[in-house]
Amino acid sequence: MPKPIFNALLLSTVLIAGCQSSTEEADNTPSKILDTKHIFKLIPKATTNRMAWANDVHTIMDELNIERNLSDTCSIIAVVDQESNFVADPQVPNLGKK
Q: In one letter, which amino acid is 89? A: D
Residue 8's domain comprises: 3-13+32-84
- 90 by Cβ neighbours in 10 Å (0-12 / 13-18 / 19+) ranks as exposed
**80 in any annotated domain:** yes
In a domain? residue 89: no
Query: Is residue 24 one of the residues assigned to a domain?
Result: no
> Is the model's pTM score more than 0.85?
no
Residues 6+ apart with CB under 8 A from 36: 51, 54, 55, 58
The count of structural domains within the chain is: 1
Q: Give residue-wise pLDDT tens across range 4-63.
A: 666 556 555 533 434 544 445 545 566 789 999 999 999 999 999 999 999 999 999 999
54-98 tens-digit pLDDT: 999 999 999 999 999 999 999 999 999 998 899 888 777 887 776
User: Who contacts 96 (Cβ-Cβ below 8 Å, separation ≥6)?
Assistant: none
Amino acid making up residue 54: A
CB atoms within 10 A of CB 44: 14
Residue 21 maps to a domain: no
Residue 12's Cβ-side half-sphere holds a number of Cα atoms within 13 Å equal to: 9
Angle CA 51–53–57, to nearest 5: 115
